[in-house]
Structure 1
């Protein structure tokens, strides 16, 4: 809860740093977007064409590129949760909805500012996260070089319940080839949903794809990935809503395997 102070007139006001944070009520947007619709998108010709210094100015000239990709990042809950835990890891959220992308961008800017105000001698936190408006189903290879990612997240994606809409699901054999291309061997795909049918769909397609192998939660926690898993479960708006409603969450994680002739 935001800290508050009482003025001489008796009014209660938020601290100035808290007032910088954007409010979702000012960023109205549909819950989902059709990835096959024509969207007015600007995208780079290749990953080499991206000036990452604009996204991560505190890492300027470091040569680093994003290692975590949150596909369909929504309001940025996962990025914000992981940023302080992995301060040296660059993370990129990809969101197709205009207002939601703008909210995440404004949220990151505000958090950078408030963090810098609290520690004037340092750049502050959240310098390692950014967001782009992009259709990951079409343009993901335009953003990530081969084997550049260590983690890809698909958290509570649109279930597209109708059978004729299944082709719009974010996990499919064609798209898995692109995810395998961007993910380095040993990297992990994290999926979670509150829809069991979608969980089985994603799991079955990942199981059938030769470049991924299932890895259980216990193994990942033993490897030190517990903080990531905790954020996957609890940091997103959808995840919090499922908790409030007492629903189930279905987790499936897969590791990128290395083969003799890797694509």
Structure 2
């Protein structure tokens, strides 16, 4: 497949299926399914003749952002893993002046916990101006600084990034926000494989409770991981809440496998980690919950 044709087709598909806010996650999941099928087939077709790497696919899928990599940051070396229990991450993030960081701080809010580079969130924010606000929480400060420069360069006024340990800071941040918390995502968090390091995982009981308590009725929670153990751990914790219903019980038409994992990402675009993992042949384990009244 010609790369320029593939790019044009993908952009047309994105424009069609994301001409809506995340309030319409359920209706456009079928569009996302067709988009994802196209994306995956395109990747496999392009991989051999162009010798694509997963990083090429990330740049390909996020090409609409037109991000500048010529940033005045010098050489940036970013650690893959950090210990969130260290003293340097124990101080709660300062609550921002929401009127300063968002043009309209009363809009529904999406919070992406562990937002990484922020491209996933920026892609959503760019498509939902004056409809939703987006807050990315990331524990690696260098990623936050770069994301802030990108947002400034793109002149987006509905997205903000914070250097924060979400386990400590999430509750006070969302409770201070003037508008409703409509969507929370935790996507491919650091697995911390060793049993003695499980206490370092981002999803601990206080954070779980704060998410469920602060989501408005009808609000949604999207979790996913390419590590089954981590996905199961998140699933078990949220399945305990009667207030949360998995989306396949509300809309049986949504495609899930026999174990109740969503077959497609319902957000309109894959995350960077998701792209890398699927490129390597890994399965992504996804759950989408909705809070009941």
TM-score w.r.t. the length of structure 1 is 0.72
The aligned residue for residue 135 of structure 1 is: 165
Runs (5+) with no aligned partner, structure 2: 4-65, 255-263
- 4+ residue runs over 3 A deviation: 17-26, 217-222
Distance 2:284 2:88 in 1: 31
The aligned residue for residue 179 of structure 1 is: 211
Cα deviation 1:62-120 (Å, max 9, x = unaligned):
442661001110000221110122212111101111111111111111222xxxxxxxx
Looking at secondary structure, tell me which structure has more helix per residue: 2
The aligned residue for residue 201 of structure 1 is: 233
Deviation, structure 1 residue 23: 9.0
The aligned residue for residue 50 of structure 2 is: none
The aligned residue for residue 230 of structure 1 is: 268
Distance 1:93 1:207 in 2: 24
Runs (5+) with no aligned partner, structure 1: 2-16, 113-125, 259-263
Relative to structure 1, the CA distance from residue 132 to residue 256 in structure 2 (aligned partners, 3 Å threshold; closer, same or farther) is same
The aligned residue for residue 107 of structure 1 is: 150
Aligned pairs for 1:61-76 within 5 A? 62-64=104-106, 67-76=109-118
Contact 1:20–1:110 (CA under 8 A) maintained in structure 2: no
Distance 1:24 1:196 in 2: 36
Question: Which residue among 85, 93, 109 is the counterpart of 1:43?
Answer: 93
Count residues in correspondence.
Answer: 216
Relative to structure 1, the CA distance from residue 18 to residue 43 in structure 2 (aligned partners, 3 Å threshold; closer, same or farther) is closer
TM-score w.r.t. the length of structure 2 is 0.65
Q: What is the aligned-residue RMSD (CA, Å)?
A: 3.0
Distance 2:77 2:252 in 1: 37
Relative to structure 1, the CA distance from residue 136 to residue 77 in structure 2 (aligned partners, 3 Å threshold; closer, same or farther) is same
